[in-house]
Structure formats: structure tokens, C-alpha cells
Structure 1
Amino acid sequence: MVWIGGAPGAGKSTIARDLARRRDLPLHPVDLWTYDHVGRMPPMRSLADDLADGPEAAAEAFVRISATRLKLVAADVRARGLGDVPALVEGPQLFPSMADDLPAAVWLVPDGELTRRAREKRLSRVEDPEGRARLEGLLARDAVLADLVRREAADRRRPVIEVPAEPDWAGISVAVEDALGSLPRLAAGDALRRQRQYENAAACRQGRLWQADLGLAELPPYPFSCECGRSGCAAVWAGTPDGYDARRGDGWLVVC
């Protein structure tokens, strides 16, 4: 594995998707396995209970859960059978203190206002009253986690990229790519095509479980990668799991 970690709103997901497509890397966003992991973990306190204890206690709980999930992430990546090609793993659950054995990792730490805008944008896409009620608690916890990332990265001399309220996304993407360095690629053709289909299937599964959990009448569209298998293909189709199934039929999703 190689990692892109950091707090919400830092552009991790977008940058990781772009980098993975351009450089033919397997992409593994931790959040796409959230519901899978729930069934494989011991019982946990609710997020509401953690936030009620204050931002520091909620941050400590998040780190504990993240450490438990890391074992599951490693098992999920091994199950992909990638050989010498590392998965590009992305998510806020990845902390510098957990990365001592990794060849490459980088953390994006956003300005607090950027985190607020990102969380509010997510809430605007669906009807989630509980999520809106805990917004301020999450933002306070996020600030504690951001400071933890800074401290741990400094202690371990790992790279951190500070993301301002008005980011230069192109420059940040270049800095992330430089921090990760040269990496082996998936072979074009079937190997690349199968991994993109695997990632799209995970997005479908997570989306449907999220829809059922929140009781949403419909899902907002989100990105699916082209499954053409061509090296460097960055084409994306935005839609829902049902739309993905309908568009690919019994074959592959080709949108380039």
C-alpha cells in the first residue's frame, strides 16, 4: 500500500482518483468499505455518543476505530491479488503513526473553513437531519485530528501538505505525486480493466448500503471509472449503482 491521508475537505478523494487513473494504480478508498467493515468489527459506540464526550474524546475514539479497521484494509488489499503493484489507499482513517512500514505516504491537512465547506456540501446532497445535527461536533473533532496528523508526521518526518481555504489544486496534486514518487503500474488490458471494475463494484455496494441505512429515496450521482483497460484513461461516468448496472449490461463500463 501507499497512502493519501488527512482530514475531510482536503481533496484526498479527488486527487487520489485522478492520480490512480493517470498512473494506472489500483485505487482503494477506505470509505468505500465502511459497511463491509462494520460486520467484521467488534461492537462500537455510536458516533453520537463519541461526540457527546467532547472533541478530544471523539478524536481518540476515531483513532482507535481506525487502527482496528487498518487490519481489515490490509486484508482487503491483499485479497485484490495485485502482485508488486501497490494499492493507492485513501482516507481520513490513515495516520502517520500507522505508516511506519509503508514505502510512501502523504497527508493533506485542510484549513478549517475548507473542511466546513466540504461537510456542508455533502449534507446538501441528501436529506440527513442527524448528520446536520452533529456537524459542529464533527468539525471540532476534525480540528483535533488535523493537529494530531501534523504532530505525528513531524515526529516521523513524513510529508504533510497544508491545504488553504482557497487551494491551488493543480499545485497540490503535483506535490502529492512528488511525495509518493515512482510506483509500478497495473498492466494495460485485462489487469487494469478488472481492477477498475472491482473498484466500481465496491462503489455500487457502498452506495446501496448507504441508501438503505439513511432511507434515501434515491442516491445522488457519483463517479465511476472507465473500464476500457487503456493505460492512463481518466474518463469518468457520473451516475448511480442502478445506472451503472444498466449502462454496462453484461460487459464493461466504457465511457472514453
Structure 2
Amino acid sequence: MSLAERLRHVRWIGGGPGAGKSTIARGLAVRHGWDLYVTDDTMADHAGRTTPQQAPFLHEFMAMGMDERWVERSARTMFETFHWYRGEGFGLIVEDLLRLPRDRPVVVEGFRLLPHLVRPLLADPLHAVWLLPTPDFREAAIRGRSASGEGFVRRTSDPERAARNLAERDAMFVERLERETGRLGLPAIRVDVALAEDELVERVGRVFGIV
């Protein structure tokens, strides 16, 4: 049995940071009784399961201080060297999914789901969708996290510059996702501030053929 067939029960929700992936995935899991796999929750575990040879950019990042990560480098360098954006550790996501029961669907979500890595695993192209947040939507999400006191950028010497670098880096990532999904013929949904959560759930559900 091919890997795509072994993962036929999986539904994939990728996209840019702050696009609402977690909210939509959790909503679908609760509504339809699916299992949920959150790739953000596995990052520390996956980092510990790799070697510098397997994930050189990840281990270089882990050795950096907060300012070196987020303040001292350009947004372009941050984007080009960010380990998860390069697909490091993606194989561990697949390993984890293969260990889950196959008797019910699993929805997996996270920005680590790069289109060119997910595409070969799809028995059906409509088993995956990418959420692409507009600049206004990303800014609103960032403001919300800042207002709640969250944000590792606060642990840098220049939070304003770190936040700007991070926003620019993530904008580059969303642009790449848009190009990749278009090139590979994969579903993508633009997410803006005018799009209500219920409508987004419905759109994702239509892609998956469940509404």
C-alpha cells in the first residue's frame, strides 16, 4: 500500500501563521468526531528527535540567542533559513500520523505543512487546503496576541523591530504558499478580516466535501 493510501484518512490544513488554522481544525474535529493533530504542539519533541546532520538549520537556530534570531538578522535571511519553512522535521509529522488509528479521519494543521511536501501524500488533492491570511488579517492577529501579553518578541532587546522582522518574514512565507498551491493545483483560501469564522469553516468543509 502506498504512503498516500495509508494516509487517505488524513485531512491537511496548512497556511500562514495567524490564519485561523487551529480554530478551524479544532472546530471540524469536534463537529465530526475526528482526531486532531496539531503540528505546533510537536515542535519541541521533533527538535529533540533530530540531529544536526538531519536538521542543520533547526540546530543552528536553537544555538542562537533571542536577538540573533529575531533582531539582528534581516527578514529575508530569517525567511530563507527558518528550519520549519525549509521542511526540516516534516518526516517526523508523517511518522506520527502513521502511528494514529486509521478507523476515523484525522485533521492535521500547522504552518509546517508545506504544499510540495504534502502533495505526494494526497490520495485526493481535495484532502488538503491552505489558508492564506491577508496583511490586514495577520496584523489583527498579531495585535490580538500582543494585547493578551503573548509574544516571544518581548524577550528581545528590541520587540518592535523583532515584531516587524517576524511580520515581514511571514508575509514572504504566505507569498510562497500562494505560488506553490497555484503551481501544484492545490486548494487555497484567502482569509481576511471580513471573513466570518463560520464562513471559513464552511469553505474548508466544502473543500473536504463534508458540507
Q: Which residue of 2 aligns with 1:16?
A: 25
Matched residue SS, 1:4: strand
Structure 2 residue runs without a partner (length 5+): 1-9, 53-58
Contact 1:105 1:159 in 2 (8 A): yes
Matched residue SS, 2:14: strand
Q: Which residue of 2 aligns with 1:114?
A: 137
- Which range moved further: 115-124 or 47-56? 47-56
Q: Over the residues paired in the alignment, what is the CA RMSD in angstroms? A: 2.2
Question: Do residues 87 (structure 1) and 106 (structure 2) align?
Answer: yes
| CA deviations over 1:163-216 (Å, ceiling 9, x no partner) | 12322222211110111225xxxxxxxxxxxxxxxxxxxxxxxxxxxxxxxxxx
CA spacing shift, 1:48–1:26, aligned 2, 3 Å: farther
Contact 2:136 2:193 in 1 (8 A): yes
**Corresponding residue pairs, total:** 181
Percent of aligned pairs sharing the same letter: 30
TM-score, normalization: structure 2? 0.76
Deviation at 1:85, TM superposition (A): 3.0
Matched residue SS, 2:93: helix
Deviation at 1:38, TM superposition (A): 2.1
Question: Do residues 144 (structure 1) and 178 (structure 2) align?
Answer: no
Which of 127, 130, 135 in structure 1 is aligned with 2:163? 135
Q: Which residue of 1 aligns with 2:3?
A: none
Deviation at 1:84, TM superposition (A): 4.3
Contact 1:8 1:118 in 2 (8 A): no
Larger radius of gyration: 1
Q: Which residue of 1 aligns with 2:41?
A: 32
Deviation at 1:40, TM superposition (A): 1.3
Q: Which residue of 2 aligns with 1:194?
A: none
Contact 2:79 2:85 in 1 (8 A): no
Amino acid at match of 1:151: R
Contact 1:50 1:61 in 2 (8 A): no
Amino acid at match of 1:130: R
Contact 2:84 2:112 in 1 (8 A): no
Regions of 4+ moved over 3 Å = 46-53, 63-66
Provide the C-alpha distance between the structure 1 equivalents of 2:170 and 2:29, rounded to a whole number of angstroms: 26
Q: Which residue of 1 aligns with 2:80?
A: 60
Amino acid at match of 1:35: A
TM-score, normalization: structure 1? 0.64
Matched residue SS, 2:87: helix
Question: Do residues 75 (structure 1) and 84 (structure 2) align?
Answer: no
Contact 1:63 1:93 in 2 (8 A): no
Matched residue SS, 1:99: helix
Question: Do residues 175 (structure 1) and 195 (structure 2) align?
Answer: no
| CA deviations over 1:93-125 (Å, ceiling 9, x no partner) | 112111122231101111112212212322333
Structure 1 residue runs without a partner (length 5+): 183-256
Provide the C-alpha distance between the structure 2 equivalents of 1:26 and 1:48, rounded to a whole number of angstroms: 38
Provide the C-alpha distance between the structure 2 equivalents of 1:57 and 1:112, rounded to a whole number of angstroms: 20
Deviation at 1:48, TM superposition (A): 4.8
